[in-house]
Structure 1
Amino acid sequence: MAAVAPFSTKDRILGAAEELFAQHGFAGTSLRQVTTRADVNIAAVNYHFGSKENLVNEVFRRRMDEMSARRLAQLQAALQQHPGELEPVLAAFVEPALAMARDRQGGGAFIRVIARAYAEKNDSLRKFLSDRYGHVLRAFAKAIAGCVPGLGKEQLYWRLDFLSGALTYAMADFGLIKRPAGLSEAAHRERAARELIRFASAGLKAETN
């Protein structure tokens, strides 16, 4: 039987960086700490990433590329199968994110990295995220606007921002409602998604002044 290939050097560096960024933040983590955790030398980091800034970006890209692709595929299906219905559009935004958060291969650490991105002022990271994933938010904004035509653009983006905050909170599992004994993680995640979708739907449909 063939041996299972070990994680590549690049994967080890990314995993180590993700854990350290979650614990200490971006500014508080040095490349030396990353190389020690990953058991590589600094030349390996320079070879694969070139700089700490690029390493930070890659930590986000390896998680968010897949999540964004799933979101857009589910959104396309929702628009085709449930035209004009808001909740399937919201499900396409919420469900892939919650699934990523519950990924046993580092999903929890990445959610803490996202929290760091909110807490720390990192203009280069925010620009990277906007440039690379802004089209995803715009696609959802367009789809939601089609479902709630009376909502103005500014109000739409305010409410989308609130939805994103609530989703991040749910992803981090900070809430008062913990998974009951005997309920699987998958079932608990489905319940969280269902309640958040209903909550967001009501908020997006709320009357405007």
Structure 2
Amino acid sequence: MANTQFSTKDRILGAAEELFAQHGFSGTSLRQVTTRADVNIAAVNYHFGSKDNLVTEVFRRRMDDMSAQRLERLRQAQEASPGELEPILAAFVEPALALAQDRNGGGAFIRVIARAYAEKNDGLRKFLSERYGHVLRDFARAMAACVPGLSKEQLYWRLDFLAGALTYAMADFGLIKRPTGVSDATHRTKAAQELIRFAAAGFKS
């Protein structure tokens, strides 16, 4: 029974993620989700209770793990390279780019993130701030120790710009496309290296 429940819940989340990426949150109905997942509305109500809860679970499924990876990488960077900015930036950037390359729906989730930026959804923004805001604050404190000449306002402006550039890189909207014969992993590594170098210069200037 547990396996069946997990399979049903996972199908609903996968269907919702794809539809939110295509049509946005307000443009997707629960009926569309149930049709795509091949379940009835009772299954959605049982597992999630409401559409708002379904939206937040789509984010939790991906971002809980990514946030944990970021924080663990941050801890390792501070222990191994105290006072160095680049390892901290790598801890922030690399797990996110790895998520973007996840073949099991990673691309769709990146479009869902873009929807979250574009659509005015106060409930979702509140959820993201409350659940993941501490991650940004931990990184901000770590970065502040590396660039003590920046004011708190300057630091947060630059961290905001970094998050925007990272989202752009994750969505692969840029001019630099993966060359023929280059693996996704190699291309992702190159993108991370260039973004980290760019961000480090911005924080240190």
Higher helix share: 2
Give the aligned residue type for 2:127.
Answer: F
CA shift, 1:75, in A, is 0.3
Matched, 1:190 2:189: yes
Give per-residue Cα distances to partners, 1:123-168, cap 9 Å, x unaligned. Answer: 0000000000011000000000000011100111000000000000
CA distance in 2, matches of 1:124, 1:153: 27
CA distance in 2, matches of 1:139, 1:20: 33
Residue 129 of structure 1 is matched in structure 2 by: 128
CA shift, 1:7, in A, is 6.3
Residue 171 of structure 1 is matched in structure 2 by: 170
CA distance in 2, matches of 1:180, 1:16: 31
Residue 140 of structure 2 is matched in structure 1 by: 141
CA distance in 2, matches of 1:133, 1:6: 27
Q: Secondary structure at the match of 1:8?
A: helix
Moved beyond 3 Å, runs of 4+: 4-7
Residue 98 of structure 2 is matched in structure 1 by: 99
What is the TM-score normalised by the length of structure 2? 0.97
* 1:1-209 superposed matches below 5 A: 8-206=7-205
Give the aligned residue type for 1:163.
Answer: L
- Give the total of aligned pairs: 203
Give the aligned residue type for 1:174.
Answer: F
Change (3 A) 1:7 1:49: closer
RMSD: 1.2
What is the TM-score normalised by the length of structure 1? 0.95
Q: Which runs of 5+ in 2 are unaligned?
A: none
CA shift, 1:182, in A, is 1.1
Equivalent pairs: percent with the same residue? 81
